[in-house]
Structure 1
Amino acid sequence: MRRLGRILAVEDLLWAGWLAILRPASGGLFLEGGWVSGFLVLAAAGFWGAALLGERGQARRTGGPLLMSLGMCAIMIDAGLKQLDAPIELRIAHTLAVVVFGAVAAWQHQATRGGAWLHAPRWLRRALSWPFVMVLADMFSGMLEALAGPKAWTSGWSGEQLFTLGFVFVVTLPVIFAFFVVAPRKTVCPEVHVTTTTWALRYLWAVATALFGTLVLGAS
């Protein structure tokens, strides 16, 4: 159990609960618009706050994951506003906010060499990021269902089908996992060192729980 605890963080357990149980039951909750899209916007904004905060003496952030994470947030906020049929003035304000906060994030990153001007404890940064982690879990599960849903497993086992599934799980989904999981979590908590092997095991965990939700609960 202790070794398992070193591999799976609280976020991984939240991911598992959403991918395996809640996501199939909700039917793609975060893509239905209405107040849920409002939650998506607030979740992404909370993640921006967590990404701009730091901890005294913490490890330095690297520019790649920071750019990937904040870019993902900007895309999700824009998607949420479109789903809400927000007025054009609000969408223009969002674009300006992305430009301003993006410039601030870049300035802070350069000025502090990967640090932060404002500090907050790790628990607060993780709490701010958790809603967005759930949004990304929903998107990850949706992409897995689109690429390797029930039809992909019942349409025969030809060489072409096996190659397609292998490419999805070995190439496509690991890249999505890097964008949706690795980069955001390394941005929020750069002081937590996680090995490549651990991230690989977390990827397998996410895929297993997503497949369970999609193939077992989603099909029932």
Structure 2
Amino acid sequence: MRRLGRILAVEDLLWAGWLAVLRPASGGSFLEGGWVSGFLVLAAAGFWAAALLGERGQARRTGGPLLMSLGLCAIMIDAGLKQVGAPIGLRMAHTIAVVVLGAGAAWQHQATRGGAWLDAPRWLRRALSWPFVMVLADMFSGMLEALAAPKAWSSGWTGEQCFSLGFVFLVALPVVFAFFVVAPRTTVCPDVHVTTATWSLRYLWAVATALFGTLVLGPLVA
């Protein structure tokens, strides 16, 4: 159990609960618009705050994951504003805010060499990032369904089918996982060292729970 705790963090357990149970039961609520898309906007804004805050003495952030994470947040907020039918003025204000905050994040990153001007405890930064972690879990599961829908498992194991599924799980989804999981979490907690082997096991965990939700629980609650 202790060894398992070294592999799976709290975020991985939250992901498992969403991918295996809550998403199938909700029907993919974040993709349907309405008030839940407003939550998407607030979740991404919370992650911006977590990414711009630091911790005294923490390890330095690298520019790549920071850029990937904040860029993903900007895309998610824009998608949420479109889903709730936000007026064009609000969407323009969001674009301006992204440019200003992005420039500020780049300036802070260069000036502090990967640090932050404002400090906050790790528990607060992780709490601010958790809602967006759930949004990304929903997006990850949606992409898995799009790339490897349930019908893909019942259409016969031809060579073409095996190649297609192999490409999805060995190439496409690992890239999605790197954007949706590795980059955001290393941005929020850069001082938590996680090996490539551990991230690989976490990827397999995410895929297993997502497949359970899609292939097993999803049909039961449909």
Do the two structures share a fold, i.e. TM-score over 0.5? yes
- Checking the alignment, whether the CA contact within 8 Å between 1:65 and 1:186 is kept in structure 2 is yes
Residue aligning to 1:45: 45
Residue aligning to 1:30: 30
Q: Secondary structure at the match of 2:114?
A: coil
CA distance in 1, matches of 2:122, 2:209: 27
Deviating more after overlay: 4-13 vs 145-154: 145-154
- Count how many residue pairs are aligned between Structure 1 and Structure 2: 220
Residue aligning to 2:73: 73
CA distance in 2, matches of 1:159, 1:102: 46
Residue aligning to 1:200: 200
- Checking the alignment, whether the CA contact within 8 Å between 1:18 and 1:134 is kept in structure 2 is yes
Residue deviations 1:93-131 (CA, integer Å, cap 9, x gap): 000000000000000000000000000010000000000
Unmatched runs of 5 consecutive residues or more in structure 1: none
Q: Supply the AA of the counterpart residue of 2:77.
A: I
- Checking the alignment, whether the CA contact within 8 Å between 1:11 and 1:133 is kept in structure 2 is yes
CA distance in 1, matches of 2:206, 2:149: 15
TM-score w.r.t. length of structure 1: 0.99
Q: Supply the AA of the counterpart residue of 1:18.
A: W
CA distance in 2, matches of 1:155, 1:91: 43
Q: Secondary structure at the match of 2:219?
A: coil
Residue aligning to 2:4: 4
CA distance in 2, matches of 1:149, 1:34: 26
TM-score w.r.t. length of structure 2: 0.99
Does residue 181 of structure 1 match 2:160? no
Residue deviations 1:166-205 (CA, integer Å, cap 9, x gap): 0000000000000000000000000100000000000000
1:25 Cα deviation (Å)? 0.4
CA distance in 2, matches of 1:12, 1:88: 37
Identity within the alignment, %? 88
Q: Supply the AA of the counterpart residue of 2:74.
A: A
Please report the RMSD computed on the Cα atoms of aligned residues, expressed in angstroms. 0.4
